[in-house]
Structure 1
Amino acid sequence: MSYVNKIISINGTEKDFIKAFANELTLADSRITCETDIDAEFANEDSSHIITIIFDVSNCYKIKLIRAVAINRATSQYNIQTVINNVDKSSAGLLFLGATKFVTDIATRTFNFMLISNDNTVVMLFGDYNQSLPNVYKYNLMSYHEQDFNVIAYNLNSIASKSEFIRTDENHKGETYKITNRLLYSRDEDVEIIESKPLMQNNNAVYDMKNVYDCSNVTSGSILIIDSNKYFAVDSNTLIKT
């Protein structure tokens, strides 16, 4: 189980910065691996080459970090997108600085990310250099993993759990699900929990996620301590144990 809220801020070249970011993201959860030789990406002599860093998450989906312009041009941005079942999904621009820089310029570049995980769930938020997570961010992912059941949801500037969950298992690839909230009410300072969260298809509950809990109304993005256990509020009615 993990709760990581990181500001990756490096004074150096762009390669130094991207290597530091990749290192921190892969350290945050062992299910995340970097598939790209970052040194080779930055050594590419083709002036039109666009640097692309690819991360694999639990052999379920990939995250691409794509430089906004070719390697020979100055920029302040990378684009982040998810690849689900070999399909590139919508991307969001992540700003690492308020001014454009060339890859070899020495500057302080910054990205922010959060990763909250347990045995079955990985939640990630990514933000610009000047955004404060989890209040404001550019990209949100939530994935759920069991041996024969893997789904991923993503959203730009909003909460991933409110989007469709897309299944990535070979025999059910592309099936979609939505979560439902069974406790849409407040209990003052108390929080009521149901220790499962159903995934729905056509108004039918078809799967119960483990270590993802239904709850009465809470503040999205908050940390709660309930019976000495620590929870992160993925949204206003969904908790994951951390």
Structure 2
Amino acid sequence: MSYINKSVSINGTEKDFIKAFANELTSADSRITCETDIDAEFANEDSSHIITIIFDVSNCYKIKLIRAVAINRATYQYNIQTIINNVDKSSANLYFLGTTKPVTDIATRTFNFMLISNDNAIVMLFSDYNQSLPNAYKYNLMSYHEQDFNVIAYNLNIIASKAEYIRTDENHQGETYKITNRLLYSRDEDVEIIESKPLVQNNIAVHDMKNVYDCSNVLAGNILIIDSNRFFVVDSNTLIKIKE
């Protein structure tokens, strides 16, 4: 599937919950893998150990879940952040419960996530247990992948697609780009599209993204059907074609 809006809710221990969440996230897209032995993380006998779960996305960047406190203390949150070119970026608090619980307590813990993808683009949104996607979220990212051209943008609480895109390819690592919107107007009930989205440096278009469309003004978070194809509205002027 390439459009998933999932609430991962498990009544069990914290390990049960994190394993279920990891399974759902990696099942959502084959390009996402979990690098961490979750059983070993929770079996650590060092009382000061802080559980850390790392996901790799298309060998391009990593997503890190970090327990807010040591394994011997109760909590209701993890921190989520992106690792880009081996650098830890800003993190957001992600709450799985309204009250703190020890790691072995049986309780219903919940994370919510959305994933929208096609052959080139991946969009992910993560939210607290009591937030409703896509209207409210804590952390989101958008990455784009072609042979020899891979970029990732992330943001806290606001739309990642409008943030800075960081390149991860070895020969261009760390180069940054922005998207530009070419159709900043409305068409009443109609939607005008251009079947690409440019990335720019210093106001010069340097790369056209495939399966990411420019569009006239639309409402973010919706799904549109255009010529029998489904699109997710990432932001008011950007569509992601949903792979069927």
Same fold (TM over 0.5): yes
- TM-score w.r.t. structure 2 length? 0.99
Asked whether 1:155 is paired with 2:155, we answer: yes
Letter in 1 for 2:126: F
Once residues 192 and 153 of structure 2 are traced to their aligned partners in structure 1, the CA distance between those partners, rounded to angstroms, is: 25
Deviation string for 1:106-153 (max 9, x for gaps)? 000000000000000000000000000000000010000001000000
Once residues 51 and 94 of structure 2 are traced to their aligned partners in structure 1, the CA distance between those partners, rounded to angstroms, is: 14
Equivalent in the alignment of 2:172: 172
Equivalent in the alignment of 1:30: 30
Deviation string for 1:72-114 (max 9, x for gaps)? 0000000000000000000000000000000000000000000
SS of equivalent to 2:53:
strand
Deviation of 1:57 after TM superposition, in Å, equals: 0.1
Equivalent in the alignment of 2:222: 222
Letter in 1 for 2:83: V
Aligned residue runs from structure 1 range 51-200, under 5 A: 51-200=51-200
Deviation string for 1:141-177 (max 9, x for gaps)? 0000001000000000000011000000000000000
Once residues 226 and 211 of structure 1 are traced to their aligned partners in structure 2, the CA distance between those partners, rounded to angstroms, is: 13
| Structure 2: stretches of 5+ with no match in the other structure | none
Once residues 163 and 228 of structure 1 are traced to their aligned partners in structure 2, the CA distance between those partners, rounded to angstroms, is: 30
Asked whether 1:11 is paired with 2:11, we answer: yes
Letter in 2 for 1:163: A
Once residues 7 and 240 of structure 1 are traced to their aligned partners in structure 2, the CA distance between those partners, rounded to angstroms, is: 22
SS of equivalent to 2:90:
strand
Equivalent in the alignment of 2:237: 237
Once residues 12 and 178 of structure 2 are traced to their aligned partners in structure 1, the CA distance between those partners, rounded to angstroms, is: 43
Once residues 241 and 201 of structure 2 are traced to their aligned partners in structure 1, the CA distance between those partners, rounded to angstroms, is: 25
Letter in 2 for 1:129: Y
Letter in 1 for 2:207: Y
Letter in 2 for 1:46: D
SS of equivalent to 2:15:
helix
Deviation of 1:7 after TM superposition, in Å, equals: 0.2
Once residues 222 and 27 of structure 1 are traced to their aligned partners in structure 2, the CA distance between those partners, rounded to angstroms, is: 23
Once residues 75 and 123 of structure 1 are traced to their aligned partners in structure 2, the CA distance between those partners, rounded to angstroms, is: 28
Deviation string for 1:192-227 (max 9, x for gaps)? 000000000000000000000000000011100111
Q: How many residues align?
A: 242
Asked whether 1:201 is paired with 2:201, we answer: yes
Deviation of 1:10 after TM superposition, in Å, equals: 0.1
Letter in 2 for 1:65: L
Once residues 21 and 190 of structure 2 are traced to their aligned partners in structure 1, the CA distance between those partners, rounded to angstroms, is: 38
SS of equivalent to 1:90:
coil
RMSD: 0.5
